[in-house]
Amino acid sequence: MQPAIHPVIMSGGSGTRLWPLSRKSYPKQFVPLAGETTMFQQSVARFAGPGFAPPVVVTNADFRFIVTEQLAAAGVDPGAILIEPEPRNTAPAVLAAALWLERTDPEALMLVAPSDHLVPDAAAFRAAVAAGRAEAAAGRLVTFGIRPDRAETGYGYLELDGPPGADGGARPLRRFVEKPDADTAARMLAEGRYLWNAGIFLFSVRTILAAFDAHAPHLTGPVRRAVDEARADLGFLRLAPAPFAEAEDISIDYAVMERAANLSVVPYDGGWSDLGGWEAVWRESPHDGAGVATAGPVTAIDSRNSLLRSESPRLELVGIGVENLIAIAMPDAVLVADMSRAQDVKQAVAALRARRAAQATQFPVDHRPWGWFESLVTGHRFQVKRIVVHPGQALSLQSHMHRAEHWIVVAGTAKVTIGGEERLVSENESVFIPLGTRHRMENPGKVDMVLIEVQTGSYLGEDDIIRYEDVYARG
């Protein structure tokens, strides 16, 4: 019987090219960009079932509860969730996963995949993984190359020793090619022996650890110490911060793959996209007869070759006579750009960061381990929020130095602690929490509890929280 393949899902990125939908606090892998489920959930589902072990997820502390919530919604029990203390690129992340698997299943094969790629035909990609299994078991480092259908300048390429065969079998890799200019991309497309580099890898734990020892030994020491000194925390494994910070910030391509000689490529000619910008989202979305792709409450009139998305049910987006346009409407920000400038969205994010605009990084809905909240109205010395607490969840026991709060339950039932008193607050009932008073809200019911919170005071920032008890072990 063949050993199971352990998927290693990389989910710590915070890309900006899909702003304003993707932001640092809630990046694109956790958003339903294509279909009803998120990119992260689709990635986990793609590598589930016979032949696959439960996934190992590598993420950061900010996303740990989003990961567990989305795994639970998908009905997936992970093998492990590794928490990076800080982003150090893909090489240290992959090495940490390999060192963890070495302890639990040293003979394992591991499949490293980003969590934000679109692969419409999951079965076809699983077949490509199966085609690379024997090579990986034999000690090869297997990567997956996408057969290009256009002269794309936004991807790196893999050069084979000849055009890929019709059998879809693994081929030796001649070299990695950096992102080309337009003329070079057109030439490589015509030659037929270049594939897009998907950044997806299959290898045995022993093979990748030997590759790190041979080509990036300076990483092995600090990352191994980070794994050895890791601590369990509410079902997560937190890598030790001090040694992990010593690891070089470097991709696995530069650290290992471009130096190794034992590389093979499995060609894949099914649908694939890294959704690296709004032009890619437009390309992968259903279009009308004029090439217009829409999502949400949108009306398009006499428009062509455009992407129009409204991400709020309360915000109607109308396009009249537009062409080659991207328009993305969020409750707190709107992007309007020429389709040819899709890759320049990151410049807008940089400009917003420079003037410290919250929209640069903060998603309008703030996800927490107990549920989520959004700000509805903000004014001088007051703020109104909608708060949703999932069944069985509880906020921390806390107090505030600068604000008082008034809670009105609009759905479900809240168990409320104010000072030393506990009480149940049902729909259409309210309570007042004076400034400085210790308080907590819980949802003891079976459905989401929704309340409206009215804050008043001299300072209403989220950092005005003193936590005394917290079931989620936040500081």
Dihedral of the CA atoms 180, 328, 121, 176 (nearest 10)? Answer: 20
Token match 């639970």: residue? Answer: 72
- pLDDT confidence band for 302 (50 / 70 / 90): very high
Mean pLDDT of 289-296: 96
Mean pLDDT of all residues belonging to the chain: 93
In CATH, what is the architecture of 5-268? Answer: Alpha-Beta Complex (3.90)
DSSP secondary structure of 171-231: EEEEEEEPPP-HHHHHHHHHHS-EEEEEEEEEEEHHHHHHHHHHH-HHHHHHHHHHHHT-E
| pLDDT tens-digit readout, 188-203 | 999 988 999 999 999 9
Residue 86 has pLDDT above 80, yes or no: yes
Going from N- to C-terminal start, the domains of the chain cover 5-268, 278-352, 369-469
Res 475: pLDDT: 59
Res 342: pLDDT: 92
Packing angle, helices 122-137 and 39-46, rounded to 10: 50
Mean pLDDT of 136-163: 91
Model-wide pTM > 0.85: yes
Res 107: pLDDT: 87
Residue 20 has pLDDT above 90, yes or no: yes
| pLDDT tens-digit readout, 248-287 | 999 999 999 999 999 999 999 888 998 989 999 999 999 9
Mean pLDDT of 49-73: 92
Res 114: pLDDT: 95
- pLDDT confidence band for 15 (50 / 70 / 90): confident
Other beta carbons within 10 angstroms of residue 313's beta carbon come to 9
Mean pLDDT of 397-411: 96
Which range scores top for mean pLDDT: 160-164, 374-378, 413-417?
A: 413-417
Length of the chain measured in residues:
475
Q: Is 369-469 a CATH 2.60.120.10 domain?
A: yes
